[in-house]
Each structure stands twice: as C-alpha cells, then as structure tokens.
Chain A
Amino acid sequence: MSVRASMFFHVLKRGLLGRGNRPLIAFIALSVAATMITAMLSLYYGLENKLNRDFRSYGANITIAAPDGQQLPSDAITRARSTLGPDAIIAPFAFAIAHTSNDRNDQAVVVAGTDLEQVRRLNAWWSISKWPNADDEALAGARAESHLQLNQAIFNLHFAGHALQLKDAGTLRTGSDEENRVYVPLTTFERWTGIGPSLLEISAPGSHEQITTTVSQLQASFPGMQVRPVRQLLQAQGGVVSRMRSVMLASTLLIALTVALCVFSTLTSSVLERRRDFAVMKAIGSSQVTVNALFAGEALTIALCAGVVGYVVGSAVAVWISQANFHAVVTPQLSVLPLVILADVVLALVAATVPLARLQRIEPAGILKGE
C-alpha cells in the first residue's frame, strides 16, 4: 500500500472514530432511515400474503362438481391433491334426500356426507355447538333440526328402504343454505346410501392470479367435470389486495421521503460543520479529488453500517407488527437488504455532495480565518 493510500485510510479512520459524536449522529439518522424503509418494505411484501391468507378463511375458493346425477371419479381427491399440493384443503361432499321415519310427518331432508375434519378447517366460520366425533354422530343444520324436531336425540333417517340411526351431536348455524341439511361422516354416508361424492370444495392457497391458474390446471385434469372458481370471493379478494397494495406503496413512499429529509438535513449540517477540516486539508496540499473521496468514503462507511443495523432493526419491527396485528410470523425479506443499503448509500452520498459543492467555491484561507 502506498503512503498516499495508507494516509487516506488513516484520515478516514480518524474521521470516523476519533471525532466525538458527529459520525454517531449521522449513523443514527441513517439507521433510522434504513429501519423505516426496511419495516415498510417488509410489510409491503408480507401484507399480500397475509391478506390472501385472511381470505382463505372465507372457505372454498374453487369447486369441482360432477354433472347432474353423476358422481366424481373415485380417485378425485388424490388427483386434486396432486395438482394442488399439501397446503390446499379439499372437502368432498355427497348428497342424498332422506325421509324421516315418522310416517305421520314424513319430512324430506337433504343429508350430506363429508369429511368433517376437512370441513372444519375449510369453514372455520361455521358456528357449531359441538363437532361430531363418532361415526354415527350427525351435525344438524339449525333449520333442519327445528323442522325435524331432533333436539339432540337419537333419530332415524330412511333412504331407499335403508334406515340409518344417528345421534344429533351439534347444531350448525351459518345463516344460509347449509342450515337446511344434516351432515354425516362420508364413510357412514357411503355405507348407507352407496352414493359417492359429487362435489369437491377446495380452498387453494395464493393470490387471485394464482388461484385462476390453479383453476385452469384443475380443468385440464378433470375433463367433463365443472371446475369453477368461487367468483364472488375472488373478486372481493382481488379488489381488496390490489387496493391495499397501492395504499401501502403510497405510505412507503411518503414515509421514505420524510425520513430522507431528516437524514439529508442532519448529514448536510455535519459536513458543513467540518469546513475547517476541509480547509486545512486543502491548505496543506491535498487535491480536491482526495478531499471529496475522503468525505464520500466516510459517508459510504457510515451508510453501509447503518444500512445493516437498520435492516436488522427494521425486520424486527416488521416481525413485531405482523405478530401483533396478524398473529403470524413474517419471515424477514432478504431481498429487501440490497435495496435498503442502496437507498442509504445514495441518500448519504447526495447529502454529502450538496455541501461539498458549496465548500469548493470558498477559498480555504477564508474558512480558516472564520468567515
């Protein structure tokens, strides 16, 4: 290393470490900027996932139905699972119309056979007094229950001459058509009626666009079946997610602008306050380029350190916010790091350039005299 270069690094080091709290203030300002930008960007990237997940709680976003009067192929669930992956919830439904054994009041009711475990995950919003857990326990819709006068008792249903004895485990309240039905475990249902599933309700993960792609994949693997997106859900989801994306982008920009302003005024003044150093260096013969490189090197070093620290703190803030608000862990976005460091470096360099340009126009003698 030449003497020149080692002198340069010596001055740079002294400038950073041996000069009281001035580099510290610049460091703090840049760290705050990096923290804010990291937190906002992480939230911006994370929000979409969170909202998409929220919309999954509405229930199925895709349905696969067999044509009228037919059943789905027996390997439908495995076939759907291989297209959808392990994240999707797939609930099969088989339907039959049964009659109550009571002849005087021979009431017809729709009985649905389903995988109650999957349905429980699919429709978490169902209000249920108690989930059935035995094979002969049924879930009765509130209106079916009151029309059939079930009252939590043992009751019989008849289908094509076969009787089935069921226990009324719980009452289902949804406010819509489900309340007219009685739900029983699929295995029990198949044994009783011999009818297999004619409908798959699927909750597929992902955004509006991803779900649309999934629908076309499913259409290819289920020829002859009606594969449909639940359009009302997807429309609401697409609308809300894209609106929130824009709002977050606007907020991120506004906050970044404000923080940049803060950094800018702090750094500018800290360079201006060092005009005497600047003058001394020039007076003892250093070139303009060296002085500029020295100030830039200082700004760069501080910006890099502050960028890393800000990234860590900002990620922590983002994790905390999503923990508090969404009750879910957001993994820190590594892709944000280069962006944050770049923003910090650009900010620091711009903030140093403006005052340096002003200082260059002044004679060193004037500054040293205190003018």
Chain B
Amino acid sequence: MFFRLLYQSFRRQQRRKLLSGIAVTLGVAVATAMIAVGVDVGDKINRELRAYGANIVVYPEDAALQVRIGDQEVKPASVGTHLKESELPRIKGIFWGHNILAFAPFLETQVQGPSGSIRVLGTYFDKQLRFGTEGFSTGVKQLYPWWKVQGTWPSDTGRDVLIGSQLASRVGKHIGEAIELSDSSARIAGILNTGGTEDNAVIAPLPLVQQWAHAPDAVDKIYVSALTKPEDAFARRDPDRMITADRDRWYCSPYANSIAYQLREVFPGARAEQIRQAAQNEGTVLSHISGMMLLIAVASLIAAALAVSAAMATTILERRQEVGLMKSLGATTSTIASLFVCEATLLALGAGILGFVLGDLIAQRIGQAVFHSGVSITPVLLPMVMLLALLVTIGGSAAAIRRALKLDPVLVLRGNA
C-alpha cells in the first residue's frame, strides 16, 4: 500500500513533482558549479599571474657582483663562474617538476657591433628539450608573454636574432637586414619591445652567444616560472633546522622556497632564490581571490538551500487535503511522515544527479568562456553534493510536514484551515 501511494503520488502529481524537481535540480546545479569554479579558480588565476614572468632565479654561488646602471654595464659579467647548459633539463626532474611552467637560461656578453659595444643576451626562444622520456618546449616565449615581437621569432639554432626596439632605431636597422656582430654576420628576424632594458640589447640564440663569449655550454642565470602556493609562516622556516616530518611536509609543498631548495639540489654550486616581487605579491592576490570565491560558494550554497526548501514546503502545504484524508482514513502520523520523506528522498536523488550533471556543464561553460580551459571537477564532489541535496530537501520538507500533520483533518477537509 505504501509503495502504491508513493508510486501514484509521482504518477498523478506530475506538475508539483516537476516544480520541486526543477528547484532541486537548479539548486544542486548552482551549488555544484560554484563549488567547482571556486575550488579551481585559484589554480586558474595562479596560471594567469604567471604572465608576470619568472618567480625563481638560479645563478652560480660565486657570481660576480653586477655593476650596471640602466643599460650600461661597467664591468663585463663574464668574470664569474657559469652554470652548465647541458644540466638544464634537470629542472624538470625535481619533485615539483610538473609545476615548472617555463624556464629560460641567459648568457650575457658584450660584442663589437656597428656602432660600438652592444649588449647581447643569449637565451632559448622556444626550445625543444627532453628529460628522460618526456619532451617539452620552453623559452622566453612562454616565460615572458608580454614580450612583443615585430617580425618573427628566431629559431633556437640559426644565426637569426631579435634586436631591441631602442637599439634598432639607434643603429638604424630593420627587420630582415644583416647586422655585424663580433666580426660575423647575423640576420635580424624581429624587433623586440619589452618596456625594459632588453629594448637596448640584441637577443640571440644561446649557442651563438656562447660562441661569441668563448664560453661553451655556459649560462649565467636561469629564470624559472613555477606554480607555487602562497607563502605562509611555515614556508619561511629553514628546512635544515626542521624535524624530519616537518621537513618532508615542507619539501612536498609547492612553496617558492621549497622549489628553490630543490633547484639548488640539482645544480650543485648554484644559488636559487625566489624573486620576491613576483612570489610575495602573487600570494596576496591569490589568497584574496580564493577567499572571495570560497565565500561566494558558501553564499550560493545558502541560496540553493533556501530555494529548495521553499519549493518543498510549498508543494507539501498544497497537499494538506491529502494529509487530512489519509489521517481520517486511519493513517498514523509516522506513516504519512515517512511517505513524504520517501518522496523527498527520491526527488533529491533523481534531481540531485541531474543537477550535478547540469552543474558540471555550467562549470565547464564558465571555465571555457572565462579561462579558455575546462574546470576540473573532483569525484569527491558528487557524494558531497548528493548528501547536501538530501539534507536540504528533507530538512526543507520537515517543517512543512510537521505543520501539515498538526492540522485537524475535519477542518482541512472542510476547507477552513
């Protein structure tokens, strides 16, 4: 009898069930979408902030003191020691190798140009490298997305170079022309505009500069862009003075400090340091945005809970006559209550799954529209959201059920209540 009542309730009252079903579906969809976006937005913005460039720099321990004002190098930087270019792919081999988004080595030298000494930087533009079986490409193109190149990017092997915009106008060179550098000829593939000191230099493929500087396999500095976690008090502690458990936790957290520490391990004799301007401020922006999205996710949960319980309460209160009839026919309070609870549960489960799928779609749409990449949704979210849907649906009905049960059947059936 109970199941027949349940079945008929769904079969005969399709409009009402549809309304509460829609409410639950939408509520769950909004909650799912907001939680998914809220959890993922930190990661997305983190990548967006990496447009700022490198946040870690690696250089030899005993590098010479740099003496430069603006574009004028007073002492050649080549006095100090160098890092080895052949060791570069090791960067990908550190514990947090997957968090390394891009890196670029730099070797700087002065060469004789058409009108005096010219500052030349050797680097990777978009270099294909291999670490183990994994191939990847890296270079200034990924590291510094704000570098604007008129013309084309040079290849990493040829004799094509980029010339800084200020230098180009000073020496009167244009795209496609040849430029005499260090008694050999190079072709200008493009004109570079960065708004920084590179505007007054020539950017050339690393092997070419190594040849000019008579320093095979050498690099001065490596700039690394890594996805990091905002720094906290724990991140600032010295790992060498920690107990083992703390040290492991520190080592396995993607702080800028711990990634720098791991880089020091793969480049013996090198210093690796966070570039504080990038690393510190990124943390502020990130934590503000994540905090904000968390609060919004909570707000959307509250809104969804309100919507669902309002809809449930409404449909149950509309069915007072039914309750009155059942009571007058001898149904106990608990039978009627369990009937309503069962209905709510079925609704919550059915509409909840539908809502979860819909919420997924909404989250993906937001991700695609705003960040041009999908939003990753953890499977843990499904049971969480379903449990929530159940709680809210049953909780929202509970008060209405109690009220409907308290009414005198005689009055209800007469239509006076």
What is A's interface to B at a CB cutoff of 8 Å? 29, 32, 36, 39-40, 43, 47, 50-51, 54-55, 57-59, 65, 68, 95-97, 107-110, 123, 125-127, 143-144, 147-148, 173-177, 180, 198-199, 228-233, 235-236, 239-240, 243-244, 246-248, 250-251, 254-255, 257-259, 261-263, 265-266, 268-269, 272-273, 276, 321, 324-326, 370
Contact = CB atoms under 8 A, between A and B. Distances in A.
A141 B300 CA distance: 49
13 contacts: A55-B285, A68-B70, A68-B72, A96-B69, A108-B75, A199-B70, A240-B49, A247-B37, A255-B34, A255-B299, A262-B306, A272-B318, A321-B295
Contacts of A126: 276
B322 interface: no
B269 to A, nearest CB: 16
B291 interface: yes
Report which residue of A230, A261, A321 has the largest number of chain B beta carbons within 10 angstroms of its beta carbon: A261
B115 to A, nearest CB: 13
Report which residue of A143, A254, A269 has the largest number of chain B beta carbons within 10 angstroms of its beta carbon: A254
Nearest to B44: A243
Contacts of B366: 246-247, 250
Interface residues of B, number: 70
Given A175-B275, A321-B295, A232 B51 contact: yes
B129 interface: no
A258 B52 contact: no
Contacts of B48: 236, 239-240, 243
A68 B307 CA distance: 66
B49 A97 contact: no
A251 B317 contact: no
B299 A40 contact: yes
B74 interface: yes
B30 A265 contact: no
Contacts of B57: 175-176
A268 B285 CA distance: 44
Contacts of B277: 58-59, 123, 125, 174-176
B67 A261 contact: no
Interface stretch (B19-27, B86-94, B181-189, B338-346): B19-27
Contact of B415 (A96, A233, A235, A370): A370
A325 B67 contact: no
B254 interface: no
Contacts of B74: 97, 108
Given A107-B65, A236-B52, A258-B27, A244 B289 contact: yes
B45 interface: yes
Contact of B23 (A51, A250, A265, A272): A265
A313 to B, nearest CB: 13
A258 B30 contact: yes
A118 B147 CA distance: 29
Contacts of B146: 231-232, 235
B45 A262 contact: no
The list of the 5 closest CB pairs from A to B, nearest first, reads: A262-B307, A370-B415, A269-B314, A175-B275, A231-B195
B37 A251 contact: yes
A250 B311 contact: no
B300 A261 contact: no
A193 to B, nearest CB: 12
Report which residue of B44, B277, B300 has the largest number of chain A beta carbons within 10 angstroms of its beta carbon: B277
Given A175-B276, A232-B52, A247-B41, A268 B314 contact: yes
B318 A43 contact: no
Contact of B281 (A57, A68, A266, A269): A57
A213 B303 CA distance: 41
B289 A97 contact: no
Contacts of B288: 50-51, 54, 325-326
Report which residue of B145, B299, B304, B414 has the largest number of chain A beta carbons within 10 angstroms of its beta carbon: B299
Contacts, number: 198
Given A174-B275, A247-B366, A254-B33, 19 more contacts: A29-B310, A36-B299, A43-B292, A51-B289, A68-B71, A109-B65, A110-B69, A125-B280, A177-B66, A231-B194, A232-B195, A236-B48, A250-B366, A254-B300, A255-B303, A258-B307, A261-B23, A265-B314, A324-B291
Nearest to A261: B307
B299 A266 contact: no
B407 to A, nearest CB: 13
Report which residue of A233, A243, A244, A258 has the largest number of chain B beta carbons within 10 angstroms of its beta carbon: A258
Contact of B34 (A148, A236, A254): A254
Nearest to A177: B66
B75 A258 contact: no
A269 B23 CA distance: 14
Contact of B65 (A144, A174, A228, A326): A144
B65 A269 contact: no
Given A50-B288, A232-B53, A232-B144, A258 B273 contact: no
B68 interface: yes
A273 B320 CA distance: 11
Report which residue of A148, A174, A268 has the largest number of chain B beta carbons within 10 angstroms of its beta carbon: A174
A325 B299 contact: no
Contacts of A108: 65, 67, 74-75
Interface string B261-303: 0000000000001111101110011001101110110011001
Contact of A51 (B44, B75, B285): B285
Contacts of A109: 65, 67
Given A229-B195, A232-B144, A250-B366, A265 B19 contact: yes
Interface string B156-173: 000000000000000000
A321 B296 CA distance: 10
Nearest to A226: B166
B234 interface: no
Given A174-B275, A243-B45, A370-B414, A261 B311 contact: yes
B276 A173 contact: yes
Contacts of B371: 243
Nearest to B306: A262
B26 A261 contact: yes
B370 interface: yes
Given A108-B74, A325-B288, A230 B45 contact: no
A56 B23 CA distance: 43
A18 B32 CA distance: 41
